[in-house]
Structure 1
Amino acid sequence: MDASSRRAYRAQLRKAETATDKKPSRAGRDLPAAIGVGVVLGALIIATALLWAPSFVALVTVVVAIGSFEMVSALHAGRIHAPLVPVLLGAALVPLAYVGGSDALTVGYGLVCLGILVWRAIEGPVRAARDVAGGVFIVTYVALLASFTSLMIDAPDGGQRIIVYALLTTMSDIGGYAVGVLIGKHPMAPSISPKKSWEGFAGSLATSAIAGGLGVPLLLGGEWWAGALLGLPVALFATVGDLAESTLKRDLGIKDMGSLLPGHGGLMDRLDSLLLTAPLVWILLGILVPV
């Protein structure tokens, strides 16, 4: 090996060692990619919610179908084989709620759960109870909870309500992430999510309340205190949703629900907090800022 070849080899070796020694982000994610994906998703939500409500419903329907598929695949790691076809049909609950309201949503949810039971019974009795429970869980967790956004956007000021809902939940995530990275020292649930701290949770409460205090008056014409009050349970439910999905992933022995979104994993890794806060925001906005 000549001198130039040896120099090139040593340079490649140093580069490899540098890459190996590089410390991961305290956030545990590719931050630039995560920010980029978040901006694109936020722009889609705002554009569809404000421009044409049916386009928002269509977007949520597609997202629910993809998220349900990710959940079916993830549960396979726990030897739970939820019936794919009826679970995917659960995405129809989103447009059904928009067209028929809460009564149609209730009836549709019952029919989908019945369909899961019948579909799985035809396949045979082995582990049937576990598979049916898995399918009902997915439809409840993904399709049913997401359908409350259809009830929300059906209001005359529905687009603005969707933006308030997305804004408060997103600001809760951002506040918790930023404060947790900067000063987080006391883990909330180290066995579930080691990076989530009590300091970060305080940041979630503060940023969500501030976003509500500003967003509700500006977008919905409500009182600032109503928005601030709304922000507190939103932050709580968003945090619980994040921890709940982390618990599920640890139990299944997987890192992410999928790999569709760079910096996030799968769609379900981005939806955990948004799903749990959807029915909460629909109910509380109806009380605090009635149409």
Structure 2
Amino acid sequence: MTKVSDHQEERESTAEPGGLPEPAKKPSRAGRDLPAAIAVGVGLGAAILVSLFTVRYLFIGIVAAAIAVGTIEFATALRKSAGIRVALVPVLVGGQAMIWLAWPFGREGALTAFVLTVLTCLLWRLRGGADGYLRDVGASVFAAAYLPLFASFAAMLVPPEDGVGRVLAFMIVVVASDTGGYTAGVLRGRHKMAPSISPKKTWEGFGGSLAAGIGAGALSLAFLLDGQAWQGVIFGAAIVLTATLGDLMESLIKRDLGIKDMGNLLPGHGGLMDRLDSLLPSAVVSWLLLSAFLPS
């Protein structure tokens, strides 16, 4: 099985009848359709801002919908590429329960729903017999933890009185990290960070992420949440690390499966899962740090 690395396109030749092969266009250094990526990013950002500044709890609905789509993409990729069958119905239903119960009941609601989802996955897969049971159950539990359980921490940012500021701080730092890393990597990227995992990532790009993320964190906590600048520096650095690790982790998953993207829903981005990779672990760390720095 031929594997295609993250954000790396195979070059193919096209031939006209009776003529010589015509080389395909060389992909950009960024490895993505930049205009389409920007348009999609602006659209998603606008939807989030509208939800936060109208009825802020609509943000939880956006998170829930995104996780449902991401779960389907993830399960489909595992089934088509590796023959792994996620217990999709229990993970989808249990995932929605984790996110929505995190709103009124916090960690207890999300963790209770997660445990019940795991138990249901164990029972659901019994009908398939022993062949691949551990493999499929393991993938189902991983999917339930990686997507909805992590996302429930984003939902838990909303209920406090300053919930809009908490969500904005989380989103701003992740976007700043991605933008800073993308810009520095394209302009200055020379030294590969993890060539066997994600060939496009460079240490220069990581430095750009760190600078942008720390700056965004300091400003966000100071002006959106009445926090201290030093708290924002820690917050920004931590989110950059988790966002980078989340991106690398999904790159490893895709390389293991031999796929370039988890889906093709978003032009210039791939699937929705390809946009959630840095957000999911960052949501957990955002909630933990903001709860410690600014108890509600």
Q: TM-score, normalised by structure 1?
A: 0.92
Structure 2 match to 1:33: 36
* C-alpha distance in 2 between matches for 1:208 and 1:50: 23
Distance 1:81 1:246, change over 3 A: same
Opposite residue 31 of structure 1, the aligned amino acid is L
Q: 1:1-291 alignment to 2 at 5 Å?
A: 20-76=23-79, 77-89=81-93, 90-291=95-296
* C-alpha distance in 1 between matches for 2:130 and 2:178: 42
The count of residues paired between Structure 1 and Structure 2 equals 278
CA contact (8 A) 1:169 1:238 kept: yes
Shift of 1:21: 4.8
Percent identical residues: 48
Larger helix fraction of residues: 1
SS in 1 for 2:156: helix
* C-alpha distance in 1 between matches for 2:91 and 2:22: 42
1:185-238 per-residue CA deviation (whole Å, 9 max, x = no partner) reads 110110111110011001111000011111111111111221122100110110
SS in 2 for 1:153: coil
Q: Which has the higher contact order (CA 8 A, sep 6+)?
A: 2
Unaligned runs of 5+ in 2: 1-15
SS in 2 for 1:134: helix
1:45-64 per-residue CA deviation (whole Å, 9 max, x = no partner) reads 12212321321111111111
CA contact (8 A) 1:93 1:109 kept: yes
Distance 1:106 1:237, change over 3 A: same
1:66-97 per-residue CA deviation (whole Å, 9 max, x = no partner) reads 00000101111112111111111122211111
Shift of 1:123: 2.6
Shift of 1:288: 2.0
* C-alpha distance in 1 between matches for 2:275 and 2:225: 26
Q: TM-score, normalised by structure 2?
A: 0.90
Shift of 1:286: 1.4
Shift of 1:258: 0.4
* C-alpha distance in 1 between matches for 2:211 and 2:161: 29
Opposite residue 79 of structure 1, the aligned amino acid is G
Distance 1:209 1:117, change over 3 A: same
Distance 1:170 1:19, change over 3 A: farther
Give every structure 1 segment of 4 or more consecutive aligned residues whose post-TM-superposition deviation is greater than 4 Å: 16-19
Aligned Cα RMSD in Å? 1.7
CA contact (8 A) 2:57 2:158 kept: no
Deviates more, 1:267-276 or 1:79-88: 79-88
Opposite residue 51 of structure 1, the aligned amino acid is T
Bigger radius of gyration among the two: 1
SS in 1 for 2:193: strand
Distance 1:31 1:18, change over 3 A: farther
* C-alpha distance in 2 between matches for 1:263 and 1:107: 37
Opposite residue 29 of structure 1, the aligned amino acid is R
Unaligned runs of 5+ in 1: 1-12
Opposite residue 184 of structure 2, the aligned amino acid is V
Shift of 1:18: 11
